[in-house]
């Protein structure tokens, strides 16, 4: 399909073009001789959901047809580049589907034995972690996902899952294989050891403090805060209040300061990217909701947009609206730079050069 994109075409925060074209599934800024169909509106690169889970449901792996619907729901929302932050399902077949978003896998979650949700992860002991990381580094698309902390039943609260020396060896093994490592972290205690061990990214990061924020900046560790997931913390706390009161109170405190924590991280210069944590119990297709949450946490409109477009795509090694790049883009009826709620209603989604 050949298209004339009559903009504004938002190539970058400081690069706005009047028009662009899609020829042979690729972006070009050179006017073609042939007549093409016109698609008019505000054009953004396809949105990024940097933390979701295709093939995962509340009780573990789901059928391929459910996975397909998850991906189609994300596509309809304009999320055309997904980083799957852990899934028990083999979703490599998604790569063969031209109509589904581009998927970057992190393999399967790696968790400590009996320290994560049942049937979600490969559960291993510290002595097995390095080899397990090597396996997932090969299975994924350049990422490995660790569960950095979870509730410890003996202490009745969040606690780190791995000794620091084991983390260092495991992360080094991933880096040797060309993979980056990210980790699920709710609490405070697990963060500094992960950063010292060489972690590349932290998911959720609700436990950031005045002590650990500078450490993240120094080591250039990115975060994906998943605020629409953090919104569920009161429900999690309520369900655990009788059996694990310390954990319950801790989760409520993390929730209460979530916006202040993220604002402090942003002000310090920590890189922030958009992720919904869709899959498991959270619905897919909510990338716009997550961008709006970033705004509530104090990010400017431009910075919230960067987190899901102009900055997020190169972070994952994928181009945006560049000459010759695959035409993955979203068109809106109004300017998202004026009102982020515009993202909730795409006018058109173009994936691999085809209006979907």
* Residue 294: both structure tokens together: 């970033």
Q: What is the pLDDT of residue 35?
A: 80
Q: How distant is the alpha carbon of residue 228 from its chain centre?
A: 12
Q: Which residue, 215, 210, 190, 189, is CA-closest to 264?
A: 210
The per-residue pLDDT for range 63-76, each reduced to its tens digit, is: 999 999 999 999 99
Mean pLDDT, residues 248-265 taken together: 98
Q: Are strands 143-147 and 180-185 parallel, antiparallel or unpaired?
A: parallel
The domain covering 47-315 belongs, at the CATH homologous superfamily level, to Metal-dependent hydrolases (3.20.20.140)
Question: Could you tell me if 58 and 281 are in contact, meaning their C-beta atoms sit under 8 angstroms apart?
Answer: yes
Comparing CA positions, the residue from 91, 27, 19, 5 lying closest to residue 352 is: 27
CA angle, corner 303, sides to 278 and 277, nearest 5?
10
Give per-residue burial for 301-317: e unless 16+ CB within 10 Å, then b: beebbbbbbbbbbebbe
For 350, the token pair is 């173009």
Residues near 346 by beta carbon (within 8 Å), at least 6 away in sequence: 76, 77, 78, 330, 331, 332
- Helices assigned H by DSSP within 41-149: 64-76, 129-139
Name the nearest CA neighbour of 303 among 342, 266, 259, 260: 266
CA–CA distance, 79 with 81 (Å, rounded to integer): 6
The two structure tokens encoding residue 257: 């300061």
| Residues 15-40: tens digit of each pLDDT | 999 999 999 999 999 999 888 899 99
Cα–Cα dist 160/177, whole Å: 25
**pLDDT at position 224, please?**
98
Mean pLDDT score of the chain: 97
Q: pLDDT at residue 252 above 90?
A: yes
∠101-275-55 over CA atoms, to 5°? 50
Measured in degrees and rounded to the nearest 5, phi and psi for residue 189 equal: -70, -30
For residues 251 and 230, the answer to whether their CB atoms sit within 8 Å is no
Beta bridge partners of 79: 47
**Quick check: 290 and 14 in contact, CB under 8 A?**
no
Strand partners, 160: 149
263 phi and psi angles, rounded to 5 deg: -60, -40
User: What's the confidence (pLDDT) of residue 217?
Assistant: 98
Q: What is the pLDDT of residue 129?
A: 98
Position 164 scores a pLDDT of: 96
Largest CA distance in the chain: 71
Rg over CA atoms, the chain: 20
Q: Which CATH architecture has domain 3-43+320-355?
A: Roll (2.30)
Quote the pLDDT of residue 34.
81
Q: Where does 206-310 show beta strands of DSSP type E? A: 222-224
Q: What is the pLDDT of residues 286-308, one digit of tens each?
A: 999 999 999 999 999 999 999 99
- Give residue-wise pLDDT tens across range 140-195: 999 999 999 999 999 999 999 999 999 999 999 999 999 999 999 999 999 999 99
Domain range list for the chain = 3-43+320-355, 47-315
The CA distances from residue 46 to 78, 287, 298, in Å, are: 6, 11, 23
Closest Cα to residue 336, out of 273, 292, 275?
Answer: 292
Indicate yes or no: pTM above 0.85. Answer: yes
| CA-wise closest residue to 139 among 101, 166, 179 | 179
């Amino acid at each position: 399909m050949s298209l004339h994109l009559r903009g504004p075409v938002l190539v970058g925060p400081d690069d706005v073009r009047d028009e662009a074209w899609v020829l042979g599934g690729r972006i070009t800024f050179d006017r073609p001789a042939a007549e093409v169909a016109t698609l008019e509106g505000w054009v953004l690169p396809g949105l990024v959901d940097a933390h979701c889970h295709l093939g995962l449901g509340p009780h573990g792996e789901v059928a391929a047809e459910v996975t397909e619907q998850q991906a189609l729901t994300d596509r309809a929302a304009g999320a055309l580049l997904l980083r799957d932050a852990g899934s028990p399902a083999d979703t490599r077949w998604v790569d063969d589907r031209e109509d589904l978003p581009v998927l970057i896998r992190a393999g399967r979650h790696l968790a400590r034995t009996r320290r994560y949700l049942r049937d979600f992860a490969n559960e291993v002991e510290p002595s097995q972690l390095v080899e397990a990381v090597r396996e997932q580094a090969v299975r994924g698309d350049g990422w490995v996902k660790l569960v950095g902390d979870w509730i410890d039943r003996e202490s009745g609260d969040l606690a780190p899952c791995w000794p620091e020396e084991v983390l260092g060896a495991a992360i080094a093994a991933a880096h040797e294989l060309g993979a980056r490592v990210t980790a699920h972290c709710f609490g405070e205690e697990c963060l500094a050891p992960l950063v010292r061990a060489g972690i590349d990214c932290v998911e959720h990061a609700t436990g950031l403090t005045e002590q650990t924020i500078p450490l993240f900046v120094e080591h250039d560790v990115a975060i994906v805060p998943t605020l629409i997931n953090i919104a569920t913390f009161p429900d999690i706390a309520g369900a655990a209040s009788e059996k694990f009161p310390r954990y319950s109170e801790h989760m409520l405190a993390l929730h209460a300061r979530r916006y202040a924590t993220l604002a402090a991280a942003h002000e310090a210069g920590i890189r922030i990217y958009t992720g919904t944590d869709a899959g498991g119990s959270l619905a897919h297709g909510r990338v716009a909701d997550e961008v709006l949450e970033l705004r509530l946490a104090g990010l400017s409109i431009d910075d919230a947009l960067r987190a899901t477009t102009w900055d997020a795509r190169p972070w994952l090694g994928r181009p945006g609206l560049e000459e010759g790049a695959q035409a993955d883009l979203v068109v809106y009826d109004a300017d998202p730079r004026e009102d982020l709620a515009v993202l909730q209603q795409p006018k058109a989604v173009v994936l691999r050069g085809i209006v979907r």
